[in-house]
């Protein structure tokens, strides 16, 4: 079977085995996460603020900058799909100057990365699949300066320390977001969500 045939068959299997009723707007996002993880529990734990799928797709169509918390999440996002929309993806956390500044100031690299992300002009899609400090930095800065404009968040970090709390705080923050509540998540989940958003835009995957 060709790769696309395998993917299509996988999606058919996922559809047939879903036991949770999902709104048609969010179903393709959830299915792609399940496809990336083989974990049907995401159908129950993923949350979407109202209208977020259309909001994020419009941001991408308007050339949004996607900023990830790890290079692993960055690597999983389709660059060809982004380029068709004039969008781009970046990750600052491994940059030498970010590490140097974080050490000098006594803050985390995620904090410095978030500061840089929020200074980018135009629509921004902030994508967190691994480091809850990335989300907590965003929420701390937002508390001090107000919610950033033209910004939406994918919050799906994985793990045991501050992960559940960071997602709950994100959900309560008022920021438009897609989140996977609980401990599950990961860079692959974050990338799958962004790719599902991209693939749902007409002509992107043609």
Question: Exactly one of 28, 35, 173, 182 is catalytic; which is it?
Answer: 35
The per-residue DSSP string of the chain comes to --HHHHHHHHHHHHHHH--S---TTTHHHHHHHHHHH--TTHHHHEEE-TTHHHHHHHHHHTTPEEEESSHHHHHHS-HHHHHHHT-EEE--TT-HHHHHHHHHHT--HHHHHHHHHHTS-S-EEEEESS-HHHHHHHHHHHHHH-PPTTEEEEE---SSSSHHHHHHHHHHHT--EEEE-SS---HHHHHHHHHHHHHTSTTS--
Is 49 one of the catalytic residues? no
Radius of gyration, CA atoms only, the chain = 16
Quote the CA–CA distance of 32 and 37 in Å, as a whole number: 9
Catalytic residues: 35
């Amino acid at each position: 079977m060709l790769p696309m045939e395998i993917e299509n068959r996988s999606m058919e299997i996922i559809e047939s085995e879903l036991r949770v009723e999902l709104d048609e707007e969010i179903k393709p996002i959830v299915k792609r996460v399940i496809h990336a993880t083989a974990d049907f529990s995401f159908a129950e734990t993923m949350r979407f603020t109202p209208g977020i799928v259309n909001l994020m797709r419009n941001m991408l169509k308007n050339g949004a900058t996607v900023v990830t918390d790890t290079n692993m999440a960055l690597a999983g996002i389709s660059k060809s799909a982004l380029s068709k929309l004039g969008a781009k993806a970046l990750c600052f956390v491994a940059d030498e100057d970010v590490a140097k500044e974080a050490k000098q100031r006594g803050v985390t690299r995620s904090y410095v990365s978030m500061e840089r992300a929020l200074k980018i002009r135009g629509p921004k899609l902030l994508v967190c699949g691994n480091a809850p400090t990335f989300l907590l930095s965003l929420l701390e800065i937002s508390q001090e300066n107000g919610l950033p404009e033209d910004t939406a968040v994918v919050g799906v970090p994985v793990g045991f320390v501050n992960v559940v709390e960071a997602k709950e705080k994100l959900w309560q923050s008022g920021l438009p977001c897609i989140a996977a509540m609980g401990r599950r998540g990961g860079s692959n989940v974050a990338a799958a969500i962004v790719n599902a958003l991209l693939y749902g835009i007409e002509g992107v995957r043609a």
